[in-house]
Amino acid sequence: MESTQTVARGGHLGHFIKQSLYVTGNYKEGKDMRTPFECEVNYFPFSHLNQIYAGFDKLEKAGIVKLSVKSVSGKQTVPLLKVVVNNKYNVMYDTLDGLNWIEGSVEDNLNYFKNNITADFYFKRSFNQQLIDYAPENCSVFPLGFNYFMKADGKFSGNLQQKIKDQLRNNFLISKYFNKNFCSGDFECYPIPSRKSKILFMARLWNPDEVSLDHLKDEREQINKNRIENIRACRKEFGDSFIGGLRHDEFSIRHAKDLLLPFSLTRKERFLKTIKECNICIATTGLHNSIGWKFGEYVAASRAIVSEPLKCQIPGDFSEGENYLEFKNNSELINNIRVLQKDKEKLFAMMNSNFRYYNHYLQPDIMILNTLLKVYQNE
């Protein structure tokens, strides 16, 4: 059987839960195994949290979670979600880009985390070992994993106004003016190489003037520089085999007009289709040293990935060489793409590794189930 932190998709989820709890010694005789977890979710609409909401919704439909939803009033400015598990444990899900709860230095933010967070378990998207050293008292901190945007259904579909907006977005005649809402299945693909054998890198630039702190301005300038150079290098080296460029916005128009992509390519529906037509996808570091949303989308689509070094820790057996190849400059980027183009066995092995990882760790219900099993293991 897989580790209790992973779940194979082939079997019945309820049966897996029972097996997992026996293994960890946490199975309670007489407990209703159809709903081993009771979860009260403090809901508020925030796009960064939709993946979490989708996971809980799927687990409820599978009979694994008895779910209650408590709407949080007032405007929430950070994607920090509280869930009470089994009327006992306060569990926090944090999908912030990095260590940026407040405006300040990394040290300021780590001290904020240590002194202002109250939780029994804390699952952080952009996780690094510093969080262990600064963990609040009696709080266990774990990596959450990749984050990407999707539709939240069921009890998380929002109020009437939001539901009407969703219906309009998904209407065939109107959807051409808006991005549709996508479920987890829309991102998924089997690890089968596309005959088109393209290379993909669509990105955006960040305006340094939108932030006030010098280190954040410097970060944005470096991200912009790297992305522009990556795109230019790949266009020169791979020609028509490369699908890449920048999303339209005022800043990109001013600074890299020649790299702008057609609007038709950057629409989400077309972007997801394009991912599946490309065997090799490129990822770069996001704001606050985060792993960008594109990375999770590439994994969900079982693509081979060439990426800048990951600066956050991911749960499970996700590693350089197996799930992605790392580059630190344009020469390494080009060479690693060439390696995957020439070595079809390596390409397929990487796609297959990402397919397995997605189904063991990243699919929304599995991601949430793994966090709940952590709670059980520490009970």
Ranges of each domain in the chain:
13-159+363-377, 184-361
Average pLDDT over residues 184-204: 95
Per-residue confidence band for 8, with pLDDT thresholds at 50, 70 and 90: very low
Distance CA 140, CA 123 (A): 9
119: tokens are 């939780």
Q: What is the largest CA-CA distance in the chain?
A: 66
Average pLDDT over residues 237-251: 97
Could you give the count of Cα atoms lying within 13 Å of 198 in the half-sphere of its Cβ? 17
Per-residue confidence band for 97, with pLDDT thresholds at 50, 70 and 90: very high
347 in Cβ contact with 303 (< 8 Å) = no
Distance CA 281, CA 298 (A): 7
pLDDT for residue 7: 44
Q: Which of 81, 110, 113 is nearest to 94 (CA)?
A: 81
pLDDT for residue 33: 52
Q: Which residues contact residue 140 at a Cβ distance below 8 angstroms, ignoring those fewer than 6 apart?
A: 120, 121, 122, 374, 378
- Superfamily per CATH, domain 184-361: Glycogen Phosphorylase B; (3.40.50.2000)
pLDDT for residue 152: 87
Distance CA 307, CA 207 (A): 22
Distance CA 204, CA 378 (A): 41
pLDDT for residue 181: 81
The overall average pLDDT reported for the chain is 88
301 in Cβ contact with 188 (< 8 Å) = yes
For residue range 107-147, list pLDDT tens digits in order: 999 999 999 999 999 999 999 999 999 999 999 999 999 99
Other C-beta atoms lying within 10 Å of the C-beta of residue 46: 17
Contacts 24+ apart (CB under 8 A), 28-36: 34/63, 35/63, 35/64, 35/65, 35/66, 36/64, 36/376
